[in-house]
Structure 1
Amino acid sequence: MTVFKRNLVSGGAGGRTNLLVWLAAIICTIFAISVVVCGIVVFIAYMVIHPRVPVMSITSAHLDLLKNDYAGLLQTQISIVVTAKNGNAKAHASFSNIRFNLTYQGQGIAMLVADPFEVPKNSSNDLNYVVQSSSIPLTPDQMEEVDDSWKRNEISFDFKGAARTRWRVGPIGSVKFLCRLSCKLKFHPVNGSYIPSRCTSKSK
């Protein structure tokens, strides 16, 4: 019986394989170094820019009209100024999907919206709303609450909503947040003056 034995040959294709392994290792090393360098650059940029979260707040308001009758119908008009503030001196901010609801004792009065806009560095932009409601039917309990408000010279409305905010922060790209605003607007119905209170958005 004839036995055929194949000799093991070193070099040749094996050498080429080793070369490919080395090239792959070099490429992976370069990629890893690039990732580390980019991370350091982003960190330094953030520390230099240090952006503040854009906020929305109610800076002023006035109860222009409050009228209720014996039929249980309520009419009101309220002027509201919502201020969008960008406290960062080195990054622009944009606001979009702006929507707020104004209600009284669970009764819807109006929905307040605005088109997208930008706020320059370290600046602010005011949204001026004049909300005039149609006749709102009240329940007996709500009618009693309005009468009590006149007697104690204080009435409150619920103001809730949100807006999308986005920074343009150079090498970092963009950072997005959701500004939620939820507070009570209190007035003196006798003269319509606004009772100042902290009403500033919280970001998420």
Structure 2
Amino acid sequence: MPPLFRRRLVTGPRSRTHPLIWLLAILCTIIAIAVVIAGIVVFIGYLVIHPRIPVISVTNARLDLLRNDLAGLLETQITIVVKAQNGNAKAHATFSDISFNLTFQGQAIAVLVADSFEVPKNSSKDLNYVVQSSSIPLTPDQMEQVNESWKKNEIAFDLRGNARSQWRVGPLGSLKYSCHLNCRLKFNPMNGTYIPSRCTSKSK
């Protein structure tokens, strides 16, 4: 009977986790905990402040000039008062990236912009724009619409655009909103008065 040979499983020394792996794991854990804590701080700050979302609105306007000729050229000057409102009683708000397009029947008249600024707690800031256009060429349909506006004593311009607002919540976070403005400004061309209407931004 042939001899039996037994094989013995030979293993090397047990592999150990490299210290760098442990260090990376510890760092990732610390970062994850810091992110969670920061999120909790921002959330608690939000609950404490209980903010009213900042808004931008047109509070007043005036049609200073409206002139059109037989050649189909339109000249206009409009004064527009835009208010940036911070209804939060516990935090300052910063408004930035302000840009609004003023048009008439699709024809560009002007772009209303402003530098970044801060609005104190529970306060507001007015932006006063005086928009003076050069001669705007109108199509025959647009010329007819202007003539009808004179007859009805009512003319409308479109104001659309965006702005960004931000609140600082404690030392670790902030709340950011986008303010979208899309409204129609109506005037009496006979005397230039503004026909008041709701023109307030929507935020998200």
The TM-score normalised by the length of structure 2 is 0.81
AA matched with 1:57: S
Taking the aligned partners of 2:94 and 2:158, their CA distance within structure 1 comes to: 26
- 1:45–1:172: 8 Å Cα contact kept in structure 2? no
CA distance in 1, matches of 2:158, 2:67: 18
Contact residue 38 and residue 172 of structure 2 kept, 8 A: no
Structure 1 counterpart of 2:113: 113
- 1:109-151 CA distance string (max 9 Å, x none): 0111111101011010000000000000001100000000000
Structure 2 partner of 1:56: 56
Mark the CA change 1:43 to 1:176 in structure 2 (over 3 Å): closer, same or farther.
Answer: closer
* Residues 129-179 of structure 1: per-residue CA shift (max 9 Å, x gap): 000000000011000000000000100000001011111121551111111
Which residue of the partner structure matches residue 188 of structure 2? 188
Q: How many residues align?
A: 194
Contact 1:45 1:171 in 2 (8 A): no
* 2:132 counterpart of 1:132: yes
Q: Give the AA of the match of 2:179.
A: C
State the match for 2:20 in structure 1.
none
Q: Which moved more, 1:138-147 or 1:169-178?
A: 169-178
Distance 2:192 2:104 in 1: 16
What percentage of residue pairs aligned between the two structures are identical? Answer: 73
Q: 1:97 to 1:34 in 2, by over 3 A?
A: closer
Tell me the residue number matched to 2:167. 167
| Runs of 5+ unmatched residues, structure 1 | 6-12, 18-27
- CA gap of 1:143–1:48, structure 2 versus 1, over 3 A, is same
Distance 1:69 1:97 in 2: 37
Unpaired segments of 5 or more residues in structure 2?
9-13, 18-27
SS of structure 1 residue aligned to 2:82 = strand
Cα RMSD for the two superposed structures: 3.2
- Residue number in structure 2 paired with 1:199: 199
Structure ranking higher in helix proportion: 1
